[in-house]
Each structure stands twice: as structure tokens, then as C-alpha cells.
Structure 1
Amino acid sequence: MLCEQVARMANCIHSDSGEPLLQVYAVCGRQGWPASQPDILVSTPAALLNYLYALDPERRRRSEFLRGVKYVVFDEADMLLCGSFQNQIVRLINMFRFEEKVLSRMKSTVVDSSMQSNVPPLGNLEAAYDDELLSKITSDEDEDQIEGEDAEGGSVLEDSIEDQVEPSKKKDWKRVRKNYNRSKQYIFVAATLPLNGKRTAGGVLKRMFPDAMWVNGNYLHCHNPRLEQRWTEVTIDTQVDVLIDAVEQGVRSQESNSKIGVCRTLVFVNTVDAVEAVAKILRNVGVECSCYHSDSSLEERSANLNDFRERGGVLVCTDAAARGLDIPNVQHVIQAEFATSAVDFLHRIGRTARAGQAGLVTSLYTKANRDLVASVRQAGNLGQPVEKAFSRKRGFRNKLKKRGSKGVQDVANVDDRVLA
């Protein structure tokens, strides 16, 4: 859905005469490979790899396409560089980098004689290079080993893989890897990009692209200043009533102010079961709502999202709706269950107060979340990045353990509770 949104917006760019300036194509879902080469190809990592493998099953890549790409943009980079997406992204970067090396060698007019005599063909080294970078990114469990330097100055991991290629050609293999003319620009875009730790997205980027230029605006890891935030501590007994009051507040505001137009409210919870439970609660009190989560079909998600975009109302969702989806004029975001990380918190509240508009966020939290909510609020009051309140990888439970809070036992039960 994000691919289709990007493609739709890019296709809206026209010249003064009304002619489209770009040919844009999305490779995702049921959409196959384009018949003609577009200016911009939008895809998910898995879909792009699947189609590249299908187009060239022998070498598992499409050299002509990969070699011709000039700009590679990774949106929502912090999500792509962590978790289940990471291996796919590393594989794609390896493929693009390998084709850069091939193109560089093809264009070279002067070939070093030592490279000609000592270095095996690039094709023989592709697998070793591919495995090396993937291993370097995913083997941070043993950081000391990765950091270790041998007598010749190379890392332990690098030398072990180079030995698999050919022990006598270590230095030449390094030259093949590093000495080539870059022909592509890699751009990583994110609203949140934590740097604290080697396994965070920022840490991974620093290792993969040590010479990268870092550019950020004033609101990286911060909420929008046009955003009004309300905080309400609830208990198991009061949670439902407070949630209903918060949702109905938006309905009453629309009825009392005709200038608002279509009113849209997003209600975030942490699990699919909680989405269904909250939707049932709201429908029982006469509030019409739709659901959005990963367990529903693509057709159902698309229909509910389009209906929410056109008619407004209430959309109950998981964090699947917190990233990238651009829904104009969302007036109210409600956290029925508090976010489990600073990144999710920022992406949730970022669905409102967009494009110069104002917005309201109502956050419900329990005693178990009290310390962390205080840290988030303090960071906001001081104008500090919210990520400092708690890290990308640690959820509320681990944060409370670190602080030695007495509420750890309460937290252990939070994830098992479903609003009912």
C-alpha cells in the first residue's frame, strides 16, 4: 500500500502543459515487472528480490537493470535495517554494489597488472562478498570478535571469509572490494533513526556506509510543535470508559464545528486481538469504526483505508498504520494502549498535525507505564529527542527492569490484557 501511495503521488507530477514528468511503476502485490523501463520503480524488498530472481534464475539477478540504476532510496530506513527486513536489504545492497564494481571495471581504461595476474574474476568473488557483508551486519551478538583486529590490521571476520576465497590473495580481494568508481547514490530516509547501539538502524548504516553524509531537520525524534497532547492514567476498571469518552469527543467536535469537515480519529493498540476487542466495544456504544491490522486481507485493508480517507470516522489499528500512510486531516490520535517503543510512539502521533495542520493526541497509560510516560513527557518539555527516554530495542518491560521499578510485575501482565 505504501508502494502504491508513492507511485500515485509521483505520477501526479506534471509539467506546465499537463504532461507527466515521470514514468513510475510499482512492483508489489500482484503487479509484475514493467514491460518498459520506468524512471522510478517502487517496490518492497521481498517483491523486488523475488522478481529479480525470477527474471534471471541462473545468476539470481538482472544485471542490466541493477547496473542501470543511479539512485536507490530506502524509505522507513530504520524499519528496513532492523528485524525481518534486514537480510533482504543487505542482499539488495550487495547486488547493487557488485554491479557497481562490474561497471567500474568495464569502464576502466587502465588495469593494474597486479590485479590482472592475482585477482580472480569478480564473478568468483560475488558470493564471498555477499556473505561477508551479511555476516558483518547480523553477527553483532559477539561484538568483541567483530571489533578484533589481527596482526595485519584486518578484522577477524573479514580474514576468515577471505581465506575461503583464496588465502594468498587477501590483499587483492580487499582491493577488489574497495577500489572501484561508485556509480550509484544510496539514500536512507526516516523520521526516526536511533544511533545508540551497533544493532540499531543508525549503527548498521555507520558500518555499511562509513563515509555517508548525514542530514537531519530540527524535528528528528521529536514530536510536531503544533501537536496538543493529553495524558490520562487509567486502570483496568476505567480504561474502557476513558477510551469511549476520548473517541466520542471527536464526534462531538465535528457536530459543534462545521468548519472541521470530515472528522478522522485513529485509535492505536498493540495487538490484533486488541483491535478486534476495541472495535467491538465502540460498536456496542453506537460508534461506527473500521479495523486495520496485518491479519486482515489486503483487499479488506485497502477498502477500510479508502473508506476512512474519503468518509472519515474511526479507524482502530495496530502499528501497521503508523508508518508512511498519508491520510489528510487526521484530527485525533488515541493511544488506547501505550506504545512499546519510542519509535512506535513518534510514528503514531505523527499521523496527525501534518502539512501545517494542528492535531490532538490522547495517550492512555497504566501504572506500569508511569515512569516511561514521565520520561517521554520530560523529553518533550525540554525539547529533547524522545528516543532518549527509551531505546529502539528495549520495550517498556526492559526499561523498567533497568530502572529497578516496582512496577515490573504489573508490566508482565500488560501484554496479556485485552480491552474488554
Structure 2
Amino acid sequence: PTEIQALTIPEVLKSEGQHILCAAETGSGKTLAYLLPIINKIKVQEMKVPLLNRPRAIVLLPSRELVEQVLSVSKHMCHFAKFRPIAITSHKNRQFVRKTLLMPTDLVVATPAGLLDYIKNKHISLSETRYLVIDEADTMFCKGFDKDVTSIIKQIKASNVTQNNRPYQIIVVTATLPKTVNELLSKELPFMKRITSYSLHKSLPNLSHNFIDLKIFNYNKYEATIQTLKAHSESASTMIFCNKKKTAEHLEKYLYSKNFPAIGLYGDIDDRTTKLESFRNQESHAKILVCTDIASRGVDTTFVNHVILFDFPTTIVDFLHRVGRTARAGKRGKATYFVTKKDR
């Protein structure tokens, strides 16, 4: 197990009513740190009570890509411990999801808005839910999800109170721990046990940093990008982060014009999951992903060798998530930063 897994799994297993904060750097194995003990608990409970068509565990994530990713990990675990996971997002086929929820369901992986919609329309009940995971908490509590997440926490609390104060467990998972998240956790879950890795908020040990003063390129970021890519191995997978959709869109077209096939991931494009899968495909001709922060959180990028910050992010949280797309799971990676006059 990784450091955070060794610290978190025993704590989740030994207590039913202890809420837990799991905070560790990107790529440290946090998903398995909460999924493994929760599934174990579900299987133990299964010996005592019959299967129900109500979820016993819920995992909340900020985007449908992350929902599908965690669902995929859950399905791999089904080969070793039989349980039934299902994904709920606002983009999922509603008829299919409603039909699936009529069958025994152990784990629901969902976006907050998607879950609340199904609760509101009485397609899903929280009466048997004893485990709630709030993953990517630095996003969930800071970027417009906080009201929905707080509503779900209150409903989980109320549901278990009506069941003779049945113990329940909330696990908050994050790669950064900004002040806003700390304040909200102190308010909503004041007695939670905090587990943090040694490397939290520290530079990844296998990550090298390369700062390029754009003065040598007459402050032309596009030319600097081309030269940086040329200096890198053709087989390397590179993510290039921009602050704005318009910039990312323009950069993607520019790279194509210079014979650098790239995949764009930004804004509200409908085929985001397909684009990510294409980028992950090691046989793909496009080894470059031009993106905004939509691709900076939670996405499995263990194969990425190089991250370029075309634009500097506006917060330290976004910075840590961007550079955390490489040097994951013990592998080596490189981060390149373009330094303009205003970045000095």
C-alpha cells in the first residue's frame, strides 16, 4: 500500500461513526484508500442483512469524467468482491439508471446535482446509506458545489438519526487543504479524524521543474511551446494547461498547423470522456492534450511525462493539481513553466 492507504484503510475499518479526512498529494492512491475498506464493510454487513435496492455507500465527485473513472475502478474490484456499483450524473440515460436502481445496489458514484435530482424525484433513497465519500473536496467545497454537498450531508445525517441514531461515516478526500475547506469542515464535521500524508502541499519527489523566461522568445508563448515540444521525446505524453477556453482552442489549432497533433479538452464540449480515452490510448498519434483546469483534477494520468503551464494558474490549489498530472505513482515527470513579465 501507499503511505496514505496504509494510514487511511485501518482507520476507516475500525470505526463506524468516525468521520475521516484523507488528505494526500495527487497520484498517491486515495481512491483505493476509501473504496477498499468501504467495500469490505459492505460485504460484512451483507452477511447480516439481505440485499436492498438502496445504496449503502455514496461517492460524490465534481464531474462526470471523474464519476466514470471511479466507477471503472469499482467495477474492477467487482471481480474480487461481488457488489453492485452504479454511476449517476445529469448526462446519464435516466431510464437506464432508474431501471438499474430497482435492483440491489451497493455503491452509487455520482455528481452532487445528479444525485439530488434522483433523490428529489424519489428514484433513490438514502435510508440505508451509511457511508458518504466527498472526493476532490478542494473543488467540491469551493467552486459552486458547496450548497449541494452540504444538503446531501444533512440528508445523510437525518436519515441515520431516524434509524435509531445508527452510526454513519463521512470520508472527505482531497489533494490540497485550503483555508476555505478547513473552515467548512470545522463547521460541518467538527470531530473528524484528520489523516494527512507527509508530502501534502510539497513538491512531488520525482518531479523536475523547468522555468523558461519568455524574453528569449520575444514573449511569444506559441513559439516557446513548439520549441519545448521539439526538445522533448516524441513518445512522451504532454498536457498543456491554459487558463481560458479561448486560449486552449487557439493553441490546439496552432499546434495542428505546425504538425503537432493535439487533442483539446476545455469548456462544455460533449465528448470529453471520448477525448480523454483517446489521449490515454498509447497507440494514438496525438500525444498532446491542450486543456483547461477541467483536466487537472482526479483524472488518471499516470502515463503523462510532461506538463506545460502555458498560463500560470491563479491559485496555488490549481497549480498543485496541474503539476500533479505527472510524476504520479512513483514515476518521473517534468513540469515546464513559461515566465512572463507579470509572473516575475
Q: Common fold, TM-score beyond 0.5? A: yes
Q: 1:19 to 1:206 in 2, by over 3 A?
A: closer
Q: Which residue of 1 aligns with 2:111?
A: 44
User: Does structure 2 retain, via aligned residues, the 8 Å contact 1:272–1:295?
Assistant: no
User: Does structure 1 retain, via aligned residues, the 8 Å contact 2:240–2:290?
Assistant: yes
Q: Does 1:191 align with 2:175?
A: yes
Match of 1:35 among 102, 108, 132: 102
Secondary structure at the counterpart of residue 320 of structure 2: helix
For 1:211-226, list aligned pairs within 5 A: 211-226=191-206
Q: Does 1:283 align with 2:252?
A: no
Q: Which residue of 2 aligns with 1:8?
A: 72
Structure 2: which 5+ residue stretches go unaligned?
1-64
TM-score (structure 1 length as normaliser): 0.61
Deviation at 1:19, TM superposition (A): 5.1
Structure 1: which 5+ residue stretches go unaligned?
57-61, 105-180, 255-261, 371-420
Q: 1:182 to 1:211 in 2, by over 3 A?
A: farther
Deviation at 1:303, TM superposition (A): 2.1
User: Does structure 1 retain, via aligned residues, the 8 Å contact 2:238–2:304?
Assistant: yes
Q: Which residue of 2 aligns with 1:209?
A: 189
Distance (whole Å) between structure 2 residues aligned to residue 211 and residue 283 of structure 1: 53
User: Does structure 2 retain, via aligned residues, the 8 Å contact 1:24–1:41?
Assistant: yes
Identity of aligned residues (%): 32
Secondary structure at the counterpart of residue 55 of structure 1: coil
Larger Rg: 1
Q: Does 1:24 align with 2:85?
A: yes
Number of aligned residue pairs: give it.
Answer: 269
Match of 2:153 among 93, 96, 101: 93
User: Does structure 2 retain, via aligned residues, the 8 Å contact 1:78–1:202?
Assistant: no
Deviation at 1:277, TM superposition (A): 1.1
User: Does structure 2 retain, via aligned residues, the 8 Å contact 1:335–1:362?
Assistant: yes
Match of 2:127 among 46, 53, 67: 67
Q: Which residue of 2 aligns with 1:257?
A: none
For 1:235-254, list aligned pairs within 5 A: 235=215, 237-250=219-232, 253-254=233-234
Kindly provide the CA deviation profile for residues 60-86 of structure 1, in whole angstroms up to 9, marking residues without a partner as x. xx5xx3121111000001111123101
Counterpart residue identity of residue 85, structure 1: F
Q: Which residue of 2 aligns with 1:399?
A: none
Secondary structure at the counterpart of residue 214 of structure 1: strand
Distance (whole Å) between structure 2 residues aligned to residue 272 and residue 37 of structure 1: 41
Deviates further, 4-13 or 32-41: 32-41
Ranges of 4+ aligned residues in structure 1 off by more than 6 Å: none
Deviation at 1:13, TM superposition (A): 1.6
- C-alpha root-mean-square deviation of aligned residues, in Å? 1.7
TM-score (structure 2 length as normaliser): 0.74
User: Does structure 2 retain, via aligned residues, the 8 Å contact 1:223–1:349?
Assistant: no
Counterpart residue identity of residue 7, structure 1: L
Q: Which has the higher strand share?
A: 2
User: Does structure 1 retain, via aligned residues, the 8 Å contact 2:264–2:291?
Assistant: yes
